[in-house]
């Protein structure tokens, strides 16, 4: 099956995403043509009609802009290419759009997730390693309830996923990011041949491939909270599938014999997502278990120019890395992590 023409690439124009338009929306029709398995998965998960574009500036920006226009319902947007993809700390995210694999080169997808805020926040969370003798201050902060808000009017189908989104969520950005990252970790692991390469998570938002032959960055996750009534979280995932961009350290799934198509991989991710949203503790536990950072000596370059060197010992409930060094334990909110050994 031929992929969409690349003649439209290069525009930085933002898409007018209207995810409530239903099955006749042009982006929904395109998704059904090129991503049929993922469309079925999105409907099973209660995420509505999957949307697909040949090119856009940024899938995260598109869904966030829609939320600011009042589109407060769940949505999933996939693009073959981003002309202004964003990474952490304002960096650019590049994909291999100019390569020979066209739409299969990368998985570029963003999820707009409603914040599950009805009711009080009473979910149990594990106490961080930095304070096992009592209540972790981060846990206490996360335990404060959000105001009660109604479930999205756009999806009252009564599906399991809608029920999950109605559950209390004390700190939705971290919960949603953990759910998407854990879903991607599980899906990539499913795509890898047994006994070969391993997929690992790297704090704060990367997925790595580790093998004797090929090792490097496979994917990155970026999130944005859009405040409002109700608030929503936009979580974007960029994953090198058939081809990696010409960036230092970038690798593609195909380099380690990962044979999944873009449609298959996205379908697996979407199928995993409701479980992570329903149980953020399990999502975080899965990320810890698959972490390439925890237990290693690391250097963290912070945004203020300072650096911390020590052993990465845990990730707390707020998503912060805990590094134990000569001067004690340090909580890292933001920074670049370098694995030293």
Question: Using one digit for the tens of pLDDT, what is the confidence trace for 25-42?
Answer: 999 999 999 999 999 999
Predicted pLDDT of residue 173: 80
CA-derived radius of gyration, the chain: 19
Predicted pLDDT of residue 329: 97
Predicted pLDDT of residue 172: 57
Question: Using one digit for the tens of pLDDT, what is the confidence trace for 235-253?
Answer: 999 999 998 888 889 999 9
Distance CA 325, CA 336 (A): 17
Predicted pLDDT of residue 258: 66
Predicted pLDDT of residue 187: 95
Class of the CATH domain delimited by 297-339: mainly beta
Predicted pLDDT of residue 100: 52
User: Are 149 and 120 spatial neighbours (Cβ–Cβ below 8 Å)?
Assistant: no
Domain ranges of the chain: 6-118+147-289, 297-339
Residues of the chain with pLDDT below 50 are 1-12, 18-19, 89, 118-171
Predicted pLDDT of residue 317: 84
Q: Is residue 189 within a helix (H) or strand (E), and if so which, with residue range?
A: helix 172-191
Sign of CA dihedral 45, 227, 315, 111: positive
Q: Is residue 267 within a helix (H) or strand (E), and if so which, with residue range?
A: helix 262-278
User: Are 293 and 203 spatial neighbours (Cβ–Cβ below 8 Å)?
Assistant: yes
Sign of CA dihedral 274, 171, 178, 104: positive
Classify domain 6-118+147-289 by CATH number: 3.30.930.10
Predicted pLDDT of residue 174: 85
End-to-end Cα distance, the chain? 45
Predicted pLDDT of residue 97: 61
């Amino acid at each position: 099956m031929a992929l969409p023409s690349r003649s439209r690439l290069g525009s930085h124009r933002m898409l007018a995403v209207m995810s409530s338009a239903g099955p006749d929306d042009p982006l929904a029709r395109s998704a059904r043509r090129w991503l049929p398995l993922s469309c079925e998965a999105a409907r099973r998960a209660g995420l509505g009609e999957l949307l697909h574009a040949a090119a856009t500036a940024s899938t995260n920006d598109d869904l966030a802009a829609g939320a600011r226009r009042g589109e407060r319902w769940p949505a999933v947007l996939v693009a073959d290419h981003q002309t202004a993809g964003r990474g952490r700390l304002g960096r650019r995210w590049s994909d291999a759009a100019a390569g020979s694999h066209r739409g299969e080169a990368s998985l570029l997808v963003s999820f707009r997730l409603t914040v599950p805020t009805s009711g009080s926040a009473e979910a149990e969370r594990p106490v961080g390693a930095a304070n096992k003798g009592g209540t972790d201050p981060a846990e206490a902060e996360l335990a404060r309830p959000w105001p009660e808000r109604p479930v999205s009017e756009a999806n009252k189908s009564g599906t399991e996923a809608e029920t999950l989104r109605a559950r209390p969520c004390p700190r939705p950005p971290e919960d949603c990011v953990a759910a998407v990252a854990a879903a991607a970790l599980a899906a990539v692991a499913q795509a890898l041949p047994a006994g070969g390469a391993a997929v690992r998570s790297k704090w704060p938002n990367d997925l790595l491939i580790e093998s004797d032959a090929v090792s490097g960055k496979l994917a990155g996750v970026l999130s944005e909270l859009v405040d409002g009534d109700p608030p929503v979280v936009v979580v974007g995932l960029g994953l090198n599938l058939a081809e990696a961009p010409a960036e230092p350290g970038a690798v593609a799934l195909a380099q380690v014999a990962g044979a999944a198509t873009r449609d298959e991989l996205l379908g697996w991710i979407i199928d995993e997502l409701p479980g992570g949203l329903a149980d953020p503790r399990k999502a975080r536990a899965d990320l810890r278990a698959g972490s390439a950072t925890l237990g290693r000596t690391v250097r963290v370059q912070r945004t203020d120019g300072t650096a911390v060197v020590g052993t990465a010992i845990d990730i707390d409930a707020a998503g912060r890395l805990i590094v134990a060094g000569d001067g004690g334990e340090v909580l890292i909110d933001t920074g670049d992590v370098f694995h030293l050994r």
